[in-house]
């Protein structure tokens, strides 16, 4: 881990520029077009699927996904983008893996993407540190995407930050009675709905897509290896990829879906 020396231009939108930012990983991601994604820790299947599609498509267009490393929408956004195309902002010391259920995901981001934290190594998360983390997540992105949110939730506090920073806010269209925070944002004309993922991404896509890192595992899957071979060479990756809808197993062969 290291202490960031250079200022990040996007963070000038924060009420107070961070006194310190620790990092571990690829700082080049800070130079990309970035989309911040926030949302419920217990999202519906629909929200999980759509955020996975969104972050995966962003990654293919050279756009970096920023989120908070938490369970639910955060984890789906990071995993969908792929570790090498995402930034995770932590509410604890950069050496701590919180929540522990996301340990493997955060380790992958450390190796191939970028971890950021305003807190000293060894610092354990507290209620107020989540708020601090959320402000940094929102500030880093060119716009904010709300995957799913209930009224009076932590996600809606992130929306308040985005409003103060004068950032555009987007939400997934939701059914009546679900994600009432998202629906309220639409009703009050505070946010816009993402009805077409490709159309949304086209607004931000640039020639920076040339710099997207390839995923060695998915490239390997394009050779249609046997399941046994893939399991032997990429044991941890194969289960995650199948869960995220990136591959499927057909007649003992691994087939890429993305």
CA distance 87 to 69: 9
CA distance 177 to 227: 42
Do 85 and 153 reside in the same domain of the chain? Answer: yes
Do 237 and 167 reside in the same domain of the chain? Answer: no
Residue 152's pLDDT is 87
36: confidence class by pLDDT, cuts 50, 70, 90? very high
Strands 253-256 and 247-250: antiparallel
Report whether pLDDT(256) > 80. no
The residue length of the chain stands at 258
Phi, psi of 20 (to 5 degrees): -155, 150
Q: What is the CATH number of the domain that holds 118?
A: 3.40.50.450
Using DSSP's 3-state secondary structure scheme, residue 45 falls into: helix
Do 222 and 120 reside in the same domain of the chain? Answer: no
Do 205 and 224 reside in the same domain of the chain? Answer: no
Q: Are 51 and 86 in contact (CB under 8 A)?
A: no
Percent of the chain clearing pLDDT 70 (strictly above): 95
Select the more confidently predicted residue: 120 or 237: 120
Residue 258's pLDDT is 56
**Whole-prediction pTM value?**
0.79
Residue 216's pLDDT is 65
Do 155 and 99 reside in the same domain of the chain? Answer: yes
Q: Which tens digits make up the pLDDT trace of 54-63?
A: 999 999 999 9
Select the more confidently predicted residue: 5 or 114: 114
Q: Of 172, 189, 210, which residue sits at a domain end?
A: 210
Give the domain range for residue 151: 2-210
Do 241 and 146 reside in the same domain of the chain? Answer: no
Do 20 and 122 reside in the same domain of the chain? Answer: yes
Do 134 and 236 reside in the same domain of the chain? Answer: no
Mean pLDDT of 4-11: 89
Residue 215's pLDDT is 62
Q: What is the H or E stretch that residue 247 is in?
A: strand 247-250
Do 40 and 89 reside in the same domain of the chain? Answer: yes
- Residue 10: how many CA atoms within 13 Å on its side-chain side? 20
Let me know if 138 is exposed, middle or buried by CB neighbors in 10 A (0-12, 13-18, 19+). buried
Radius of gyration in angstroms for the set of CA atoms belonging to the chain, rounded to a whole number: 18
Do 147 and 250 reside in the same domain of the chain? Answer: no
Q: Which tens digits make up the pLDDT trace of 225-250?
A: 888 888 887 777 787 777 777 788 88
CA distance 253 to 220: 12
152: left (phi over 0), alpha (psi -120 to 50) or beta: left
Report whether pLDDT(211) > 50. no
Q: Which tens digits make up the pLDDT trace of 158-205?
A: 999 999 999 999 999 888 888 899 999 999 999 999 999 999 998 887
Select the more confidently predicted residue: 120 or 250: 120
Residue 230's pLDDT is 81
Residue 97's pLDDT is 94
Do 121 and 227 reside in the same domain of the chain? Answer: no
Mean pLDDT of 72-95: 95
Do 99 and 226 reside in the same domain of the chain? Answer: no
Give me the number of domains the chain comprises: 2
């Amino acid at each position: 881990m290291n202490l960031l020396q250079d200022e990040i231009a996007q963070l000038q939108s924060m009420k107070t520029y961070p006194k310190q930012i620790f990092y571990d990983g690829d700082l080049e991601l800070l130079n990309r077009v970035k989309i911040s994604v926030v949302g419920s820790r217990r999202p519906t299947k629909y929200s999980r699927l759509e955020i996975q599609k969104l972050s995966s498509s962003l990654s293919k267009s050279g756009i970096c996904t920023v989120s908070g490393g938490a369970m639910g929408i955060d984890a789906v956004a990071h995993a969908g983008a792929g570790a090498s195309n995402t930034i995770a902002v932590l509410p604890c010391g950069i050496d701590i893996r919180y929540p522990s259920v996301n340990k493997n995901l955060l380790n992958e981001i450390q190796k191939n993407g970028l971890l950021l934290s305003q807190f000293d190594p060894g610092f354990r998360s507290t209620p107020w540190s989540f708020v601090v983390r959320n402000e940094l997540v929102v500030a880093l992105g060119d716009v904010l995407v709300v995957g799913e949110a209930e009224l009076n939730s932590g996600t809606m506090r992130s929306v308040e930050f985005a409003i103060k920073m004068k950032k555009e806010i987007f939400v997934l269209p939701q059914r009546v009675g679900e994600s009432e925070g998202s629906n309220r944002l639409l009703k009050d004309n505070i946010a816009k709905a993402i009805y077409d993922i490709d159309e949304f991404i086209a607004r931000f896509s640039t020639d920076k897509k040339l710099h997207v890192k390839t995923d060695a595992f998915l490239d390997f899957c394009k050779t249609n290896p046997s399941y046994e071979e893939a399991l032997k060479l990429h044991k941890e990756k194969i289960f995650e990829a199948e869960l995220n809808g990136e591959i499927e197993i057909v007649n003992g062969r691994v087939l890429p879906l993305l």
